[in-house]
Homo-oligomer: A and B are copies of this chain.
Amino acid sequence: MVVLVNARGCGCDVGDTAEAITLSVVTTEPVSRQERKQRTRQALLDAALDLVAERGFSGLSLREVAKQAGIVPTAFYRHFASMDELGVALVEEAMRTLRTMIRSARTKPAAYNDMIKTSVRILREHVRAHEDHFHFLTRERYGGTGPVRQAIGFELKLFVSELAVDLARFDNLREWATEDLHLLADLIVTTMLTTVLELLEAPSRDAEIVRTAERRLRLIFLGVPNWRSVP
């Protein structure tokens, strides 16, 4: 048997909060209590992600997130102590998406030649597949308040370090000092984030944006052979 249910996993009427849009098709398997809780938690995250696109995380209220998720405001506290805590959870979720991306970029063998092309293509695909996550990350990276912003900053630093390690595997970078690799990785990530923003801002100029991104990276990598580290 299959039914349409709201985020709480029950088909019951939710009265005033009927606009809850988080619907999905599920089988009515026996649902444990923690399973249901986890589902509501996810509904809250999804609701916040939906709303954040229009007004920014700081312009988001606990009440409307709860409403969008299909629960009463006070029930929010069963999952998060505050909106900030939800924000941090959102960062973690979005970062998981980002890590999935870099992993898929890593597994591609990718000759040094078309490495740029491949990377940018993967970036484009992942951004389009998870627009809301990337929207959230780029928007709150600097615009966010307190904990959210801090969490993104922290994760992004980690991300740069990982990329630096990856870069060290390339033949023409094998001898580079860690500091220099970090510089390069930082430049690449910044450039990539700029591209993400362009992709999100333009509805469908993908080809053009991808080309610009490739050119940008090409220019950066042109300097690599001539780089001499100075202490």
Contact = CB atoms under 8 A, between A and B. Distances in A.
Contact of A219 (B56, B141, B220): B220
Give this chain's copy count: 2
B55 A145 contact: yes
Interface in A108-159: 138-145
Interface of A: 55-56, 58-59, 138-145, 183-184, 186-187, 190-191, 194, 197, 212, 215-216, 219-224, 226-227
Contacts of A219: 183-184, 187, 220, 223-224, 227
Nearest to A140: B143
Give chain A's interface secondary structure class: helix
Nearest to A153: B201
Contacts of A141: 142-143
A153 B100 CA distance: 30
Nearest to A55: B145
Contact of A56 (B145, B215, B220, B222): B145
A19 B161 CA distance: 45
Contacts of A58: 55-56, 58-59, 143
B190 A194 contact: yes
What 4 pairs across the A-B complex have the smallest Cβ distances? A143-B143, A222-B223, A223-B223, A58-B59
A142 B145 contact: no
Contacts of A190: 190-191, 194
